[in-house]
Amino acid sequence: AQSVTQLGSHVSVSEGALVLLRCNYSSSVPPYLFWYVQYPNQGLQLLLKYTSAATLVKGINGFEAEFKKSETSFHLTKPSAHMSDAAEYFCAVSGGGGADGLTFGKGTHLIIQP
């Protein structure tokens, strides 16, 4: 079985500051990991994914994430927050939920302070 834990249901950072959203996973098979972003009243959009190639994955909008097997982590970072980054962020692992469906974390709401 797979599971995802996102530390912090709400994270607040100042504009221009580092963004760090934490994700830890458990998986009985080598994991495929995803970060999705959801803007208010919209569907989910893929930010980036890890599929066993490079451990440092670069995504859209300046985000990146590093896969650390020893720590079972896949934290999302961005060097400098922008007001437009305010959204809900979901980490997900593939392989759970039937026929390689996605198992999601509960989400982290990112707040950007001006």
Q: Is 105 in the site for another protein (CB under 8 A)?
A: yes
Q: Which is nearer to another protein, 66 or 88 (CB)?
A: 88
59 binds another protein (CB under 8 A): no
Using CB under 8 A, pick the residue from 11, 22, 49, 86 that binds another protein.
Answer: 49
22 binds another protein (CB under 8 A): no
What are all long-range contacts of 7-10, with beta carbons under 8 Å and residues at least 24 apart?
7/108, 8/108, 9/106, 9/107, 9/108, 9/109, 10/108, 10/109, 10/111
Contacting residue, 14, 45, 55, 113, with another protein by CB under 8 A: 45
DSSP three-state, residue 61: helix
Q: Counting contacts by CB under 8 A, is residue 86 touching another protein?
A: no
Check residue 106 for interaction with another protein (CB under 8 A).
yes
Residue 34 CB neighbour total at 10 angstroms: 25
For residue 51, the tally of other CB atoms under 10 A from its CB is 13
- Which residue lies nearer to another protein by CB, 11 or 17? 11
What is the CB neighbour count within 10 angstroms for residue 27? 18
Q: Which residues bind another protein (CB under 8 A)?
A: 4, 9, 32, 34, 36, 42-46, 49, 51-52, 90, 94-95, 97-107
